[in-house]
Structure 1
């Protein structure tokens, strides 16, 4: 069970669906030193 965030109301929840929308993972992507896409995000 992981913490999730509702894109509609910005509330945190453990449910997959909130405000009739699918929730997103509330955690950032894992950090890697050799990230081959880092130049595209900066």
Structure 2
């Protein structure tokens, strides 16, 4: 199951990379860190 999720994430990254006009970005979040802080920094 974990392999499927990793594969889906990789495919999503490829789609987003090939379609920058969508304005989508994937944010990597470290375990135990403040998620809202990461989102604000990436805007």
- TM-score in terms of structure 2 length: 0.24
Task: State which structure, 1 or 2, has the greater radius of gyration over its C-alpha atoms.
Answer: 1
